[in-house]
Amino acid sequence: MKQSHLTSRTSLSLLSGCLLSLLSLGAVADLDAGLSAYEMRDYETAYKELVPLVSEGSAEAQYILSRMYRSGQYVDLDMAAGAEMLKLAAAAGHAKAQRELANMYLIGIGVQRNPPEAMRLMTEAAEQGLPDAQQELGIMYQSGAVFDPDYDEGLRWLQRAADQDFLPAIHSLGMMHYFGQGGEINLIEAERMFRMAAERGYAQSQYQLGAMYHQGQWLMKDLVKAAMWVNVAAANGDSSARLMRSALEEELSPEQVEEARELAIACRARGYQDC
């Protein structure tokens, strides 16, 4: 009889485990359906699939719903509601939510401005390896957005993001060397960083290379080369490059303007290599 009782308890335990597994699989399926709908811009379906998962503690569902509230996708635009959803996801350790909530605290959108809390959240996201957060944390240290500038700590976080081939961080390192932030100006290293990012299509670095060629900083002054990189950066959406292009072309002959444009087209066709 005792053996039968144990067997019954064991069966109930196994049944409970199976039910929990099925419920878990159902939640995963609902999340996948919600995420798929969101990616397809079917925001109504996404909302209906994700809302039930919020109360179940799905950090990803909370994060996506936050984006919907902050963008007015299917729901009314509501930054405060978006922030509340981000808080839930961030508390569960969702790195992207931590980073985005940090930025809201930094400038006071949807929440009361709180730079120390922004720093705390950005640090948590950065420590999880999110390169965007590492880069932004590096800039926070570098700029003194929260505390006094700490260039060494800023450099450390920017380097961690750059080690993940995060192009904005590589560019930011170039800017630190260019302006000598936290040390001496190092145009050799600045040019190396700018070129590394420029050759991978980063428009701001392409513009900065053009500026260095224009001014003859470390690189030999070359107005055609400068115009080429500025044209490339402008084609990739850099607004500063568009302004500089107009001014730079006034320094060039019509033949040089045409040469720079042809070089820019060839550079883009080669994937920005050997430009």
CATH of the domain at 241: 1.25.40.10
Q: Is residue 1 part of a domain?
A: no
| Predicted local distance difference test score (pLDDT) of residue 182 | 84
30 domain-assigned: no
Indicate whether 167 pLDDT > 90: yes
What 110-117 contacts at long range (C-beta under 8 Å, 24+ apart), as own/partner pairs, is: 110/70, 110/79, 110/80, 110/82, 110/83, 111/80, 111/83, 115/145, 115/146, 116/146
pLDDT of residue 28: 57
State mean pLDDT over 34-53. 95
pLDDT at 12: 39
- The closest of 252, 183, 86 to 78, measured between CA atoms, is 86
Decide if 59 is inside a domain: no
Residue 85 lies in a domain: no
- In the chain the first and final C-alpha atoms are separated, in Å, by 85
Print the domain residue range for 228: 166-275
- Residue bearing tokens 């000598």: 180
pLDDT tens digits for 116-166?
999 999 999 999 999 999 999 999 999 988 889 999 999 999 999 999 999
Is 59 a residue whose pLDDT tops 80? yes
Total domain count, the chain:
1
Provide the pLDDT for residue 247: 93
Identify whether 222 is part of a domain.
Answer: yes
Detail the DSSP E strand segments found in the chain.
Answer: none
pLDDT tens digits along 215-254:
998 899 999 999 999 999 999 999 999 999 999 999 999 9
- Angle between helix 59-71 and 79-91 (nearest 10): 160
Q: Which two tokens stand for residue 151?
A: 């260039």
Cα-only R_g, the chain: 26
